[in-house]
């Protein structure tokens, strides 16, 4: 049993740089949590503090029922997988897998049984005699995973383990990691800058920015109800479109307006936007919630096609509306369309987001 609890966790590098700021996070036993955010936001620092590879400046880290703030890494019962695999180059795969257990003076028969099991799960049997340099990147990463499984720790920590792999292999390894977690449910923290990786792997996703946690939630929660404009723009690909609009309430109807745009919003939005009458707000619309053609009453606008990206399964359109670039996704691949065309674009009802221009918090009424 190993839940992880971070409370008021802070990391200062020197006197000037505050890398991790008041991070509070409760990770349940056996939960898989993905920690995601742009490069430099403090993900690795947070993970390394959990591992004991980095001193904490203040706060508490609990693993299971112990406060581990000052425990050395080897006493925390964790195993870590890094981006660069960190395998011992002069040792065979078998010896790499055995290394941690031999250090703990585990009997060789037990080690062999553990390696057999891990090799079976990860398809490593035919590679056991090879040296790491005789393996592809994907195979090396699988050995690194195997090394963690063999140790049977309370906690797995992953720091961008898939970032050196090509896109296809990355997708395969993602599935293997999911399968692994289902087979041996172990509390896991997975750091990545890739929101697709975070969304597909995490039971819950933690979004960080500038050392601070922005939101913690299931993939569906962070996609559907982003805690602020940053999360809204970070989660989802292609990214959410943002348009600066002004709220106008006239004769019982509420519209949001920008140059070349006037959308009449439904009742729930109207209630939420009532305090903003006459004021600017930020409207968000995901590319996949826009469609070509006239939609529900008052929810369409004209845009100018700038770039057509044919993906075979669908078209991605980059369009322009006044000073705003608007991406439209999910356009049927057969659609006859070219840059320079004028198109009618409609918004799916109920799929708009609004944010306060100052606080960037959602306007939910
Ligand atoms: N040893 C260090 N000394 C000084 N600054 C550091 C050190 N390690 C990381 N940083 C800084 O702390 C911030 C967070 O780093 P890191 O946790 O590695 O980010 P991430 O993993 O999210 O890309 C970055 O701005 C980085 O430059
Ligand atoms: Mg990092």
Rounded distance between C-alpha atoms, residue 46 and residue 207, angstroms: 12
Cβ(269)–Cβ(349) below 8 Å: no
Taking only the tens place, the pLDDT of each residue in 111-150 is: 999 999 999 988 899 999 999 999 998 899 899 999 999 9
Distance of CA 248 from the midpoint of ligand 2 (Å)? 45
CA 192 / ligand 2 centre spacing (Å)? 8
Mutate to test the pocket of ligand 1, among 12, 45, 55, 80 (most ligand atoms within 8 A of CB): 45
Nearest CA to ligand 1 atom 6: 13
CA distance 35 to 209: 11
Domain spans of the chain, in order of start:
4-234, 241-355
Residue among 255, 256, 244, 224 nearest 326 (CA): 244
Q: Residue for token digits 């729930």?
A: 268
* pLDDT above 80 (res 89): yes
Maximal CA-CA distance, the chain: 81
SS3 call for 180: helix
Helix (H, G, I), strand (E, B) or coil at 209: strand
Residue 297 pLDDT > 80: yes
Instruction: Name which residue sits closest to atom 2 of ligand 1, judged by CA.
Output: 13
Alpha-carbon distance 60 to 76, whole Å?
A: 14
- What integer is the mean pLDDT of 18-35? 98
Torsion of CA 291, 226, 191, 194, to 10 degrees: 20
Is residue 201 a contact partner of residue 32, using CB atoms and an 8 Å limit? Answer: yes
The residue ranking higher by pLDDT, 278 or 166, is 278
Q: Are 157 and 78 in contact (CB under 8 A)?
A: yes
Tokens representing 24 are: 């509070």
**Class of CATH domain 4-234:** alpha beta
Name the residue with the closest Cα to ligand 1, atom 19: 40
Contact criterion met (CB below 8 Å) for 356 and 281: yes
In terms of Cα–Cα distance, which of 145, 138, 116 is closest to 128? Answer: 116
Query: Ligand 1 centroid vs 7 CA: distance in angstroms?
Result: 20
Which residues form ligand 1's pocket by a CB distance below 6 Å? 13, 17, 19, 37, 39-45
**42: pLDDT confidence band, cut at 50, 70 and 90?**
very high
Angstrom distance (rounded) from CA 23 to CA 5: 10
CATH topology for the 241-355 domain: OB fold (Dihydrolipoamide Acetyltransferase, E2P) (2.40.50)
Detail the DSSP E strand segments found in 120-180: 155-159
First to last CA, the chain: 41
Estimate to the nearest angstrom the gap between the alpha carbon of 13 and the chain centroid: 25
Say yes or no to pLDDT of 28 above 90. Answer: yes
The per-residue pLDDT for 46 is 98
pTM for the model stands at 0.94
DSSP code for 299: -
**Predicted pLDDT of residue 121:** 87
Q: Which of 12, 15, 21, 40 should be mutated for ligand 1, with most atoms under 8 A from CB?
A: 40
Closest CA to 178 of 193, 163, 158: 158
Residue 57's pLDDT is what? 97
Helix (H) or strand (E) holding 228: none
What's the length of the chain? 365
pLDDT recorded at residue 18: 97
**Residue 331 reports pLDDT greater than 80:** yes
For the CA of 13, the nearest atom of ligand 1: 4
114: CB partners within 8 A, 6+ apart: 101, 106, 149, 150, 152
Residue 254, beta-bridge partner list: 249, 265
DSSP code per residue over 322-358: TTEEEEEEEEETT----TT-EEEEEEPTT-EEEE-TT
68 with 51: CB under 8 angstroms? no
d(CA 324, ligand 2 centre) in Å: 33
20 token code pair: 């991790």
Highest-scoring range by mean pLDDT, 141-145, 178-182, 332-336: 332-336
Closest atom, ligand 1, to C-alpha of 39: 23
């Amino acid at each position: 049993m190993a839940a992880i609890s971070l409370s008021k966790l802070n990391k200062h590098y020197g006197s000037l740089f505050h890398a991790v700021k008041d991070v509070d996070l409760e990770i349940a036993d056996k939960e898989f949590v993905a920690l995601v955010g742009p490069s430099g936001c403090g993900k690795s620092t947070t993970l390394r503090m959990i591992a004991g590879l980095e001193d904490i400046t203040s706060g508490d880290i609990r693993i299971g029922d112990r406060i581990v703030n000052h425990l050395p890494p080897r006493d925390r019962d964790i195993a870590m997988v890094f981006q660069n695999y960190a395998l011992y180059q002069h040792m065979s795969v078998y010896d790499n897998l055995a290394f941690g257990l031999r250090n703990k003076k585990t009997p060789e028969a037990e080690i062999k049984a553990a390696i057999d099991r891990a090799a079976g799960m990860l398809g490593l049997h035919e590679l056991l005699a090879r040296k790491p340099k005789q393996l592809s990147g994907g195979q090396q990463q699988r050995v690194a995973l195997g090394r963690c499984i063999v140790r049977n720790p309370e906690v797995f920590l992953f720091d961008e383990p898939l970032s050196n792999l090509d896109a296809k292999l990355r997708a395969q390894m993602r599935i293997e990691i999911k399968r692994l977690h289902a087979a041996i449910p172990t509390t896991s923290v997975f750091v990545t800058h890739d929101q697709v990786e975070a969304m597909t792997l995490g039971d819950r996703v933690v979004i960080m920015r500038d050392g601070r946690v922005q939101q913690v939630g299931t993939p569906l929660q962070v996609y559907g109800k982003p805690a602020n404009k940053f999360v809204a723009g970070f989660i989802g690909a292609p990214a959410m479109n943002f348009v600066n609009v002004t709220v106008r309430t006239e004769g019982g109807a509420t519209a949001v307006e920008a140059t070349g745009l006037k959308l009449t919003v439904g009742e729930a939005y109207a209630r939420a936007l009532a305090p903003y009458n006459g004021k600017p707000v930020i409207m968000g619309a995901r590319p996949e919630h826009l469609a070509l053609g006239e939609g529900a009453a008052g929810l369409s606008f004209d845009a100018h096609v700038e770039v057509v990206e044919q993906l075979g399964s669908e078209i991605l359109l980059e369009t322009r509306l006044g000073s705003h670039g608007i991406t439209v996704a999910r356009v049927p691949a057969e659609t006859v369309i070219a840059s320079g065309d004028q198109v009618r674009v409609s918004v799916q009802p109920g799929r708009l987001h609004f944010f306060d221009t100052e606080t960037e918090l959602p306007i939910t009424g």
